[in-house]
Amino acid sequence: MSKNSRDTSLSEAHAKTLPLIFTTMLCIQILATLRVPIIVGWDLPLWLILSDLILILINVGLLLWIGTKPTSKKLNYPLTTFAYLCAGFKVITSVIVQGDPIPFYLAVLMLTGSLCFLSVRYLVFSMALVLLSWVAVALLVLSHAQIASTMLVALLGAGFSIFVQHWRILAELQVFELKQRVETLEAILPMCVSCKRTQDHTGKWQSIEDYLEDQEAGTQVSHSSCPSCTKELFSDYVRDQKADGAAPTS
């Protein structure tokens, strides 16, 4: 399979899963938003409430957008990256409010990346940006031991994410290759070597003229004779006609 065919098939597979991806990211945002007051309490800073509300509205907007309007293939991965980074931003705000590294949350977010992307480049870029941003903020509120232990768990999650994505890509490419083989086989038209009748998808044998008229609505087959066949079949008749035309009249 060529690189262009491979990229095209993966891009199409990713486009089909966009509604599921954005729905998943929206659910993650809602659950993460509900988690903070349960752990910390309902006396939350105004900036956190506003940021959570904005993140949820962004995910709702993305979900409505792709549900009502087909997006360009060039925008699919950037939009997915944006939704993924929004989830990463929620991890960072939770660390600031709770003063806790939340290693499990960060590891799950890393693993979620394998379900969001069928592009290694976008997956690695998104995970790296989230981790670097988390470390920059964590240095202000966490101890070095907490940061090191959380990064270890997060990197394990990132490794599993790349592993899962690898197998997802292989599965998608296998499906694409099988689809191409089926289309190739369906394009083969069985024809009797003797009578030249052909077999349709129901197994019925019919003349090639009837087959063409059935397949193409409004098509009618007429018969004629090409120059080569005319010469082969009617050469004697044409020669006699020319001879009769050239004969002298009495």
Look at residue 170 and tell me if it is in a domain: yes
Instruction: Name the domain boundary from 152, 184, 216.
Output: 184
Residues 6+ positions from 114 with CB-CB distance below 8 Å: 123, 160, 161, 162, 163, 164, 165, 168
pLDDT digits (tens, 9 = 90+) for 4-18: 777 788 888 888 888
Give per-residue pLDDT as tens, 161-181. Answer: 999 999 999 998 888 888 878
Give the model's pLDDT for residue 136. Answer: 92
In a domain, 250, yes or no: no
Q: Is the same domain home to 51 and 157?
A: yes
Q: What is the pLDDT of residue 191?
A: 80
Q: Are residues 176 and 214 in the same domain?
A: no
Q: Is residue 31 part of a domain?
A: yes
Q: Which of these three, 184, 208, 232, is where a domain ends?
A: 184
Within-domain flag for 248: no
Same domain, 135 and 216: no
Q: Which pLDDT value is given to residue 248?
A: 53
Structural domain of 237: 192-243
E strand residue ranges, the chain: 198-199, 205-206
Does 107 map to a domain? yes
Please say if the pLDDT value at position 129 is more than 90: yes
* Count of domains forming the chain: 2
Q: Which of 161, 184, 207 is the last residue of a domain?
A: 184
Tell whether the model's pLDDT for residue 157 goes beyond 90. Answer: yes
Shared domain for 169 and 215, answered yes or no, is no
pLDDT value at residue 69: 74
> CA-CA distances (angstroms) from residue 102 to 18, 39, 131, 158?
28, 12, 13, 15
**Could you tell me if residue 211 is inside a domain?**
yes
Same domain, 100 and 206: no
The whole-angstrom separation of Cα 190 and Cα 160 is 48
Per the domain annotation, does 249 fall within a domain?
no
pTM, 2 dp: 0.72
Greater pLDDT, 3 or 53: 53
Question: Is residue 198 included in any domain, yes or no?
Answer: yes
